[in-house]
């Protein structure tokens, strides 16, 4: 069982999974600078669970075994569990200042738990019992899971079966007595490079004729035929240099995403939880999306608490902290963070019990919460840039600061208020740059679904007809 | 020596450093308090350390026979908390 950070890193060393970065195979991701910050962030989900001051949020009691488990492997048994998940995410984000990746697997487990139950009720299959056995193993081993939903999708105007290349959507290419063969890929897979398994799910509602694409399965990431290609990030070359120019040297930025390729991967039947049930593909997608969108006010709220702190510190170091417009902008940043957080708490508080017994957040409110994140995090970043100043885009490097020839000039001309070292000022400005640059913001936009995906849900869940009736009633319009 | 157990809230967004505050209470109670695990039912008092007024450590608390002291901020001098625990 994985308990500590050291256990987790050891498990990744022994994993033997195939990961590429920048055109080269990475034999041991645990010692490669492109991966270390992301591993450190995910490791926090193990470390904090062992600390008494965080145990209440980081752990839960398994409804299957009665044993204490990491909350990331837990099936929500109450509204309180839903709220605790969001609180936990804010807590961990305070420690990392970046994505810690493990929520996606938690959400995949919960969506699968609910949906396999429903499939069995309608079709008489035994997916739920299979899944429970799988879940018990995940809880006992404390594995980290990736949640694989997004397919590459090729030509977005065409259905899976209409694509020029059928593999642009992940699908079953062969059914055998002992299992199935999977081919395709999952894109943007947060944390997959340092996860143990991936739970793949259909990427969208599947229609008649696309049964082979309605597949859900748990696949070890070291299975034969699984290949991961790690994505580039803004300023990732700085990770190779080390030092303060990374901005957040311990934990990097965002989660670290891979394109996960399934090149004819065998999956035994006991790890298959949907195979052709197109009528449940849509609800599985909706549930996973809702559970994941529920999170964003928690994790992004927490990450941006750190950003607000960094911005206030930069203002203090630059002597602007007492200016009324700076105080006002900091207050606005706090307002925006608490707004996204309150959305995540609200959808959790309005959560309800599904037929499976697992609890589920209010889907409309969860989608609103994520939609606010796509907007407010950009605005928070804009305010951070405003307060920090153009220096975050023009600042010399750490090497310049430490240069024997020109370091004295950097030290002298980047100085802020008396008593604060130039190095400290540069450190906090780099952190702001890191947290508000390209990749960091795009994650808020597209992670857990692009803005339009939430708008589609508003159309379905927004009760527009009832709102029209309300207006008619007040105005006396009868038809 | 009075036996005291501690329970923390989860610490989602605490208003002060809960661990540091407990350390100051521990220092103040040195030689007077024996700190025991909460799952050890044999304690005289229970100290709840909460990060805010919501006081999540108070939730789902199993009935305890001893005195319960719930801290929700760091306004009180830790020595005052020690005095309450030793009452």
Residue B41 has pLDDT above 80, yes or no: no
* CATH, residue B27: 3.40.50
Residue A172: name the closest of A271, A286, A283 by CA: A271
CA dist., res. A57 & res. A94, Å (int): 14
Put simply, the answer to whether B10 touches A94 (Cβ < 8 Å) is no
Q: What is the ipTM, given to two decimal places? A: 0.91
For A88, name the nearest residue in chain B, comparing CA atoms only.
Answer: B12
Burial of A335 (0-12, 13-18, 19+ CB in 10 A): exposed
When CB atoms are compared, the residue of A54, A80, A305 closest to B11 is: A54
pLDDT, residue B62, reads 83
Residue A438 has pLDDT above 90, yes or no: no
When CB atoms are compared, the residue of A53, A57, A84 closest to B18 is: A53
- Please give the residue range of the domain that contains residue B65: 2-86
Catalytic residues of A: 99, 103, 190, 257, 292, 296, 299, 443
For A53, name the nearest residue in chain B, comparing CA atoms only.
Answer: B8
Put simply, the answer to whether A52 touches B12 (Cβ < 8 Å) is no
Separation in Å, CA of B11 to nearest CA in chain A: 6
Reported as a single tens digit per residue, the pLDDT across A247-280 is 999 998 888 999 999 999 999 999 999 999 999 9
CA dist., res. A45 & res. A464, Å (int): 41
Separation in Å, CA of A421 to nearest CA in chain B: 26
Domain at A284-475: CATH code: 1.20.140.10
pLDDT, residue A455, reads 93
Contacts of B51 (CB under 8 A, 6+ apart): B9, B11, B12, B13, B14, B15, B16, B18
Query: Which of B11, B16, B37 should one mutate to test binding to chain A, selecting the residue with the greatest count of A CBs within 10 A?
Result: B11
Reported as a single tens digit per residue, the pLDDT across A77-95 is 999 999 999 999 999 999 9
- Percent of chain A past pLDDT 70, that is, above it, reads 100
When CB atoms are compared, the residue of B6, B13, B18 closest to A90 is: B13
Which pLDDT band holds residue B63 (cuts at 50, 70, 90)?
Answer: confident
For A92, name the nearest residue in chain B, comparing CA atoms only.
Answer: B12
pLDDT, residue A2, reads 95
Reported as a single tens digit per residue, the pLDDT across A319-371 is 999 999 999 999 999 999 999 999 999 999 999 999 999 999 999 999 999 99
Put simply, the answer to whether B13 touches A305 (Cβ < 8 Å) is yes
Residue B42 has pLDDT above 90, yes or no: no
DSSP-H helix ranges across chain B: 18-28, 78-86
Number of A to B CB contacts under 8 A, please give it: 37
CA dist., res. A469 & res. A208, Å (int): 36
Question: Are the C-beta atoms of B83 and B41 separated by less than 8 Å?
Answer: no
How many domains does the structure of chain B reveal? 1
Put simply, the answer to whether B57 touches A56 (Cβ < 8 Å) is yes
pTM, rounded to two decimals: 0.96
For B6, name the nearest residue in chain A, comparing CA atoms only.
Answer: A52
**Interface list for chain A against chain B, based on CB atoms closer than 8 Å:** 52-58, 80, 84, 87-88, 90-91, 94, 302, 305
- Percent of chain A past pLDDT 90, that is, above it, reads 96
Separation in Å, CA of A56 to nearest CA in chain B: 5
Residue A247: name the closest of A388, A384, A392 by CA: A392
Residue A98: name the closest of A476, A440, A430, A410 by CA: A440
pLDDT, residue A8, reads 98
For B37, name the nearest residue in chain A, comparing CA atoms only.
Answer: A52
Residue A226 has pLDDT above 80, yes or no: yes
Instruction: Give A-chain residues touching B13 at CB under 8 angstroms.
Output: 87, 90-91, 94, 302, 305
Put simply, the answer to whether B10 touches A54 (Cβ < 8 Å) is yes
Separation in Å, CA of A95 to nearest CA in chain B: 11
When CB atoms are compared, the residue of B10, B18, B19 closest to A88 is: B10
Task: Report chain A's mean pLDDT, rounded to a whole number.
Answer: 97
pLDDT, residue B64, reads 84
Interface of B with A in 25-84 (CB under 8 A): 49, 56-57, 59
SS3 B74: coil
Contacts of A461 (CB under 8 A, 6+ apart): A363, A364, A367
Structure tokens at A140: 């006992």
Put simply, the answer to whether B6 touches A55 (Cβ < 8 Å) is no
Separation in Å, CA of A380 to nearest CA in chain B: 19
Separation in Å, CA of A51 to nearest CA in chain B: 10
Instruction: Give B-chain residues touching A54 at CB under 8 angstroms.
Output: 8, 10-11
Q: How many residues does the structure list for chain B?
A: 87
Reported as a single tens digit per residue, the pLDDT across A103-131 is 999 999 999 999 999 999 999 999 999 99
């Amino acid at each position: 069982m994985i308990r500590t950070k050291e256990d987790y890193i050891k498990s990744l060393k022994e994993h033997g999974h195939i990961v590429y970065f920048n055109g080269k195979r990475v034999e041991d991701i645990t010692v490669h600078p492109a991966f270390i910050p992301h591993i450190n962030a995910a490791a926090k989900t193990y470390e904090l669970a062992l600390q008494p001051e965080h145990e209440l949020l980081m752990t839960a009691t398994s409804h299957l075994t009665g044993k204490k488990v990491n909350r990331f492997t837990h099936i929500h048994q109450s509204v309180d569990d839903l709220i605790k998940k969001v609180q936990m995410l804010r807590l961990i984000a305070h420690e990392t200042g970046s994505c810690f990746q493990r929520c996606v697997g938690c959400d995949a487990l919960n969506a699968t738990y609910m949906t396999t139950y429903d499939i069995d009720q309608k079709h008489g299959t035994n997916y739920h019992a299979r899944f429970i056995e799988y879940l018990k193993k995940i809880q006992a081993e404390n594995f980290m899971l990736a949640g694989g939903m997004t397919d590459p999708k090729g030509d977005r105007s065409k259905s899976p079966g209409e694509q020029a290349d059928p593999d642009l959507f992940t699908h079953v290419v062969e059914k055998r007595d002992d299992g199935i063969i999977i081919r395709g890929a999952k894109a943007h897979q947060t944390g997959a490079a340092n996860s143990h398994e991936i739970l793949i799910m259909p990427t969208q509602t599947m229609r008649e004729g696309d049964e082979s694409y309605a597949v859900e399965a748990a696949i070890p990431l070291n299975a034969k035929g699984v290949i991961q290609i790690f994505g580039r990030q803004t300023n990732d070359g700085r990770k190779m240099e080390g030092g303060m120019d990374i901005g957040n040297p311990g934990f990097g930025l965002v989660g670290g995403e891979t394109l996960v390729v399934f090149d004819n991967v065998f999956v035994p039947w006991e790890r298959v939880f949907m195979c052709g049930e197109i009528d449940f593909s849509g609800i599985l997608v909706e549930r996973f999306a809702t559970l994941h969108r529920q999170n964003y006010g928690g994790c992004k709220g927490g990450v941006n608490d750190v950003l607000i702190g960094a911005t206030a510190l930069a203002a203090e170091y630059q002597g602007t902290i007492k200016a009324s417009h700076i105080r006002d902008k900091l207050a606005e940043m706090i307002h925006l963070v608490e707004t996204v957080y309150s959305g995540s708490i609200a959808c959790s508080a309005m959560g309800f019990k599904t037929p499976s017994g697992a609890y589920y957040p209010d889907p409309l409110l969860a989608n609103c919460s994520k939609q606010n994140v796509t907007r407010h995090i950009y605005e928070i970043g804009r305010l951070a840039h405003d307060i920090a100043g153009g220096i975050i885009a023009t600042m010399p490097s750490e090497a310049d600061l430490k240069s024997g020839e020109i370091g004295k000039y950097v030290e002298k001309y980047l100085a802020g208020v008396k008593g604060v070292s130039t190095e400290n000022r540069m450190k906090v400005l780099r952190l702001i740059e890191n947290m508000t640059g390209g990749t960091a913001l795009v994650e808020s936009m597209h992670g857990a679904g692009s803005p339009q995906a939430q708008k589609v849900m508003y159309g379905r869940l927004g009760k527009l007809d009832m709102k029209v009736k309300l207006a008619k009633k007040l105005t006396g319009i009868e038809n | 020596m009075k036996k005291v157990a501690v329970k923390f809230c989860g610490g989602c967004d605490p208003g002060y450093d809960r661990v540091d505050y407990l350390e100051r209470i521990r220092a103040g109670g040195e030689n007077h308090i024996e700190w025991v695990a909460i799952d050890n039912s044999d304690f005289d008092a229970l100290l709840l350390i909460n990060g805010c007024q919501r006081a999540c450590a108070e939730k789902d608390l199993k009935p305890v026979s001893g005195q319960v002291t719930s801290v929700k901020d760091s306004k009180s001098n830790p020595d005052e908390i020690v005095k309450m625990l030793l009452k």
